[in-house]
Structure formats: C-alpha cells, structure tokens
Amino acid sequence: MALKPFLLQPQTTFVKFLQDNPSVRSSAALALGKLSVLSTRVDPLVRGLLSNLHASEGGVREAILVALKGVIKHAGKSVSSPVKTRVFDLSNELIYNDDEQIRSSSARILGIISEVQFSTFTCIYSICSTSGIYHLCNITTAPVKIWL
C-alpha cells in the first residue's frame, strides 16, 4: 500500500497521545492497534509500548495495554518470537496486579498471544470475576479461546 512510508508519523503521534486525557488515550490506543496491521516495523512499536508500560501508572497504563492488545491482535504474526515472549512475561506479571482493569487487559493479551503463537507458551490464564484467577498450565492441544 502506498501509505506504508508515512505510517511512522501517525504511530509516533498515537503513542504520545497515550499519555493525554482519558478520551484521547482511549482513541489513540484503538487507532494504534488498527494502524499496526499496515506497519512493516511492528517489533520497535511493541518494544516502545513495553518500555512506556514500565514507566506508567493508572489510566495511562491501561491505555498502553489496550494499544498493546490491539497491536498483537492485528499484527501479531509480524511480531518476532522474542518480543512476543517479552509481552507474555510482562502480561504474566501484570495478571496479579491489584487493579482489575490491568488484570483484565493482561488476560486479554495472554489470550491473543495464545491464538497468534500458541505453541510457544505453555500457560494460559483466565479471569473469573467471582472466583479470581485460574492458572491453566501445560495445555498442548489446540488453542483455547479466552474471552477477549
């Protein structure tokens, strides 16, 4: 597509908007996920989101997780295995966060990663609002759809 050379500028802008007010953050997170399908350089985008995630809190962290979920969902096949592993490891840590929104977003990311590259990971998580976190390990059959 002829627009691919121009994708870096909107991507950078949307990443900056993830730090803005809540309505702008939400729109930027969704747009970044959808835009990523056109990107030829997904790994640097995901690494940047992971770095920003470590340095953020609250609503900004939630927006970054939504953006990360969108990028993995729309362009996950273009993300290298080492970067997917970093996303998995961080989501695996955040699933035990005190904030329910963070836990929910992390579970969704783990579900999407399991669909994109299931054989790499041996653990899947699911959150049940009444019972807490279920940790299912050593699942080696076909991917299990986790509510996304």
Average pLDDT along the chain: 81
Tens-place pLDDT, residues 38-75: 888 899 999 999 999 989 988 999 999 999 999 999 99
Segment 82-103 shows an average pLDDT of 94
pTM listed for this prediction:
0.76
Residue 1 has pLDDT above 80, yes or no: no
Count the neighbouring beta carbons within 10 Å of the beta carbon of residue 100.
10
Distance in angstroms (rounded) separating the CA atoms of residues 53 and 62: 9
Instruction: Pull the structure tokens for residue 142.
Output: 């076909």
At a CB cut-off of 8 Å and minimum separation 6, what does 99 contact?
A: 62
Residue 142 pLDDT class (50, 70, 90 cuts): very low
Q: What pLDDT, on a 0 to 100 scale, did the predictor assign at position 41?
A: 84
Instruction: Provide the greatest CA pair distance for the chain.
Output: 49
